Structure 1
Amino acid sequence: MSSIDPTAISRHRSPDLISGYRLEKLVGTGGMGEVHKATQLSLGRTVAVKLLNAELAKDPSFIARFQKEAAALAALSHPHVVSIVDKGKTDNTYYLVMEFVDGPSLRELIRSPQLDMLGALRRMLEICRAIEYAHGRGVIHRDLKPENILLDQQAGGIAKVSDFGLASFLDDASPSSRYALTSTHVSMGTLSYMAPEQRVDAKNADARADIFSLGVILYEWLTGEVPLGTFDPPSQRKPGLDARLDGIVTKCLKPDPEDRYPSVAALIADLELLVPGSLPSLLPVKQTRMQRFKAGVRQVVRVTLRVAAGLMVLAASGVLGTAYYLSGERRAPIAPGAALMGYLGEPRTQPVPGREEANAERRRVTLGEGLAEQSLVVSGRPVNLEEKTLVFPWQEDTQSVGRVRVDVTRRDGDILSLISRFSVAGPPPTWERRLRDMFNLYQPSAPPTVAMMLLGTTGRYVALVHNGVGEPLRLEWALGERRGAMLGMESPRTGDVALELAVDAEGRLEAFLGAGKDRRALFEPLVLGTGWVEQFGDAPFPAYGCIEATCRVSGITYELRQSPPGGTTAPVPTPPPPVVKAVATAAVPAKAVVPKKAPPPPPPKKQPPKPAPKNGKRR
C-alpha cells in the first residue's frame, strides 16, 4: 500500500462497515483498495483492515488475488511477516484484517539522506529471513519492493514483509491453488523490481525471482538508485561503502537465474559476514509431504539425465541415492583454508631458482629468477616451476589438494608483504571425472580454488582465497582462538589476478587487489595488534594452496623487515633557542636589532696649569 493522497482523506467510510470492527482512520491506498486503522471490538486491539475496491470486487480475477493474499498470509507465521487476523465479505466488497504495523514503509527510509549501512544490513537480513521462511513454506512473494516492507516502530523498527497478493505457491496441490492468477507467458509485478524471467513468464518464475528483487532493494537502499541495464557496483556509486557488498549485489542481479544465489539462505550466509553480532539464521522449515515428494521427483529427474550415458553410471547413482537417504544428512562443506591445512601426506623438499636480498633492516625473497637456490616444502599434489611460474598441474590419479611452503630460513621483522599473481581453472571434464561427480551428487566437490597463505606454527594461518573469475574473494584466518572469514569483491573477469597480503608494525593485516594506481583494499583491516608475530607462533612462512583445479602462481615476492626502534627515526638534535629578556615597551614596528659597539673611552682630561705665586716663587 502506498501512502495516502490528499483526495483520499475526503472518502468517508462508516465506522461500523465491518461487523466486529470499528474503522478509525484511512492510513493508505493502493491499486486494489484502501487500508484503514481499526479497532477489533472483541479484544479492544488495534488492527489494519484492507478493503478491496468496490468496483474491483465485481471482477473475479481481483477477488481471487485478494483471497490469495489471505491464503498466503494464513500459511505464514513469522516475526518479520505481517500476520493475518481475519477475512470476510460485506454487502459490496471483501476485506482482510491484519496486524497493524505502526511505522513507515522502507520507501520512506530509503529517501532519507543519511545512510546507516550497518542498520540497513541488519534490516536487510530481517527481510531475507522472512522470505527464506516463506520459501520454506512453499510461498513465493513475486512483488517485493520498498512499499511492501513496513518498519514496526513499536518493536524497535524491525522490518515486516506485507502484500502477498501476487504470491505463488510451490505446492500446486495446496488449498491455495484454486486462487491461481497467472497464466503462462504473462508478466505480473512491479517492473523495476522484477527478475528478467518474471517479466516474460511470471507463472514459471521460481524462488530465485525473489532473490533478484532483494538485490534491487539492497542496491537502491545503498545508492538511492534502481539498477537499470549495465550498472556500476554500489561502492563506485557511493564512495565509502564496503566493497564486499559489490559481489553480493552483483550475484543477486545476475540475468540468468542459474548464476544467482541458489537460495535465500546462501544470500543470508554472505550478509551475516558483514554484520557483526547478527543473529544466526532460522532453522529450515519442515516441508510438507507433498513438497518432499515433489523435491524427490525433481531430484530423480536430474539424476536420470546425468546417468543416461550408461547402465554402470545409473547403478552407481542408485547406490549413492540409497546411501544418501539412509544417512539422512549432508556433511557441511569444509572451508578452503581448513582443507589446505589438513594432513596431505609426508612433505617433500623441492629446490627452485630464486633470489634473496638482505641487509640490516629487511629481507626480500623472490622465486623463479636468480642464482640463489630456494627450497619449497611440498605437501599433497606435485608442483612444477615453468618459466618463473609455480604450477599445480591437474592429474586425475593424484589427490585434489596441494600445498607448497617457501622455506625462508631467516624471518626477523614485524612488517610483512607477500605479492603474487594467480590464475585458476577447473579440471577437464573427462569421463572419469563425470563418474566421480555422480558419486559426489549429494556432496558436491569443492570449487576450483587457489590460495595465498601465511603459515605459522601448530595450524595457525591466514589465507586469501580465489575461486575463479567473477567469484568473490575470501579472507580466512585461524590464529589460536581467533578464527573467522570475510567476503570481498568479485575477482576481475580478464587476465590474471594480482593479490597482496600485508601486515604493518601496528599489526594491521590487509589484503589488496591490483598493483600501482589500480591497487585497492579488499576487506576491512584485520587488527592483530603490535604483538602480531606471536599470534602466528613465529614470523609466518609464505605458502600457496590449490584445490580441484589447475593453479598458476607467478610474480612471487616475500618481504619482511624490522620497523625502526620506537616506531620512528630518532630526531636530529637542534641547539636550544637563545634566551630573550622581556622588556615592557610601547608597541612599535619591529626592527632588526643590531648590537652597537661599545664607545671608546674618553681621552684623559688635561690638568689646568697651576697659577704662579704672587711673589714669583714656585713652591
Structure 2
Amino acid sequence: MPSLDATSTAISRTHAPDLIPGYRLESLVGAGGMGEVHKAIQLSLNRTVAVKLLNQQLALEESFVARFQKEAAALATLHHPNIVSIVDKGSTPSTYFLVMEFVDGPSLRERMRAPPEDPQETLRVMLQICRAIEYAHNRNVIHRDLKPENILFDEQAGDLPKVTDFGLASFLEDTSTRFALTGTHMAMGTLSYMAPEQRVDAKNADGRADIFALGLILYEMLVGELPAGSFEPPSRRKPKLDSRLDGIIERCLKQHPSERYATVTDLIRDLEPLAPHYTTMRPAKLNRMQRLNRALKKAVRVTLQGIATLLVLSALGMWGVRYWHVTSKRVPRTPGEALTGDLGIPSAQESAGRLTIVEGEPRRVTLGDGNDKPTLLLSGRPLSIEDKKLVFPAVAGQSREGLVRVDVPGMRGDTARFVAQVNAQYNAPSLFETLAQVVLDAPLPDAQVALLLVKNEPTPTRYVALVYSGAGAPLRLEWSLGEKQGTMLGPNSPEGPVELELQVDEEGALIASLGTKGDKRPLFEPLQLGMNWQELRFGSAPVPAFGCIEGMCQVEKFSYNVKSLPPKPAGVVQASAATRVETPRTVAPAPVKRTPPKPAPAPKGKRSK
C-alpha cells in the first residue's frame, strides 16, 4: 500500500479538461491525501460544481476505493441546508470521482484567522453546524473528522455554514462489511480533533466522538486556540462570554463518552437559550455607501418630521382621530399571529376545484380548476376568484388581514405536501398615511401572503406559516404548536409570483422550499414535528389555508395532499427521529413435549426484521 502522506499522494500533474464525460474541469481548488478537488462546469445544466478525484495510485487499492465510495454513500443519504450535497459519482479508466455542490466561500479555519466574532455570531454558526450533525446522526451517519477545515461558508446562500468531507463517516447501524474500513484498535481522523476513544478504537467510536469535536471547535471559535490538558473555562479567557458556556463545553470534552451529551439534540437544547435571537442568516454588515444612504434618509426623515409636525398641530383633533382610525389595528404582531387571531365569524364560499377521496377519506384537494366545488371558510377581508386565481384585492377601509381555510376535515396521513404559487403587492400609501408614519417614525406595513397548516377551528390556535413579503424581503417560517413555538428567517425573496411548498416527510420533518421542480431549494432547517405529527402537534388533522396582510395577495395552483404510510411488519419498533430502532434479540421458545413414538423438534425462534 502506498504511503499516506499528502506530499506523496497528492496529484501534481494537470488533468485534461474533458477527463470526466459531461463535465469540464476549470481549476484546482485543493489537494490532500486521497486526491484533489477541482472547480468544474456540469455541461448539461451549465452550473458550477466541485469534482473530487481519487489519487490514481490509491485507485488501485481496494480499501481506498471503498473509502471513497463510502463518502458518496454517506453524502447521498443526507439532504440538509448545512451539509454539502452530492450531485454525481462515477469512474474513468484511471480513477474514481465524486461530483458535489460547489461552495464558493471561505472555510471556518479562514474565518477564525480574523479577529474573534461577536459571541452571538459564533453561536449562530455553531447551532447550524450542530443542526447538520444532528440530522446526520438521526440518519445513522457519524462524521468522525469534524474540524474547521471541513466547514465551508456558502456566501451566496446567506453565509450558511456547510459541513463537508464525509470520507471517514461511519454508518451507526451498518452491519455489512461493504464500508467497514476501520478495524478494531485503528485510529482514523485528525489527531487534534479526535475524541480519546477514537484515537484508540475508531471502529467502535459512536456519535459522541462528534460531540467531542464540536466542543473543541466551539472553544477554539470563542477563545482563539484549542484547549489543552486542564484548560481554563472560556469565560475566564474572555470575560465577556456567558459563563453558562463553560459547563456546556466542559461536558462536551469529558474524557469518557458516557459523561458527555448523549445526543447532539441535547447539546442544541443547552445552546439555544444563549442565542435568543438566533436566525439562519448572518446579520448584514453595511458598507460605506449604505451607511451614507442611511444617514441621508435619517436627515430627510427629520426634516419631514418637522414639516409634518406643523401640519399636525394645525389640525390636531382631525388628525388624531384619523390617525387612530388608520393605525389602531396595527399592533406589532407576527404574520402568523395576525392571520390566526380573531378575524370575526367566517363565511362560506365555494371554489372550483377537485377533491380526491381514497377509502372514504379525503387525501387531496386542489383549487382553481375542477367540478367538485370545495368549500372555503373566509375570515376578515373579502376574497375574489379571477381566472382560476384566488385574490385578496386591496380595498380601502377593509380589515388588514384575511384568511381562507379549505373546509375539508379529516385529511389524515403520515406525510403531507402543500404547494401554491403566490404574489403580494402593497399599494402606494396616501399622503396622510405617509405623513403620519413619518411623524411617529413607524415603518409602513408590508404586503404579506402566507401558506398555512392550521388546526380546523373558527380561531386556529395551532399553526405553521410560510410567509412571502414581496421581492427583497426575507422569507419567514413561523410556528405555534402548543409549547413548540418559533420563527426562522430565510434568504431574501425573488420577484413574484413565486412557488412555495411545505412538505412533511416520513419522519415527521417539515421542510419549506422555494421554486419549481427543476429549481427547488430548501429555505430553512427542517422543523422536526415528530411521528404522528397531526395529532401530536395540531390535536387533529390540520387543514390547508392561505392568508393576506395589507395590499393585494394572489394565490394559484393551490394543492394539498396527504398520504398514509403502509403499516410496519409485525415486530418492528417505530422510533422517532431522535431514537434508534433496535432489533430484538432472537429468543428460542422452550421445546414442546409430544406423545411418543416420535417427539416433535422444538420450533425455531423468529427474528424481527
Q: TM-score range by the shorter chain?
A: 0.3 to 0.5
TM normalised by structure 1 equals 0.45
TM-score for the superposition, normalised by structure 2 = 0.46
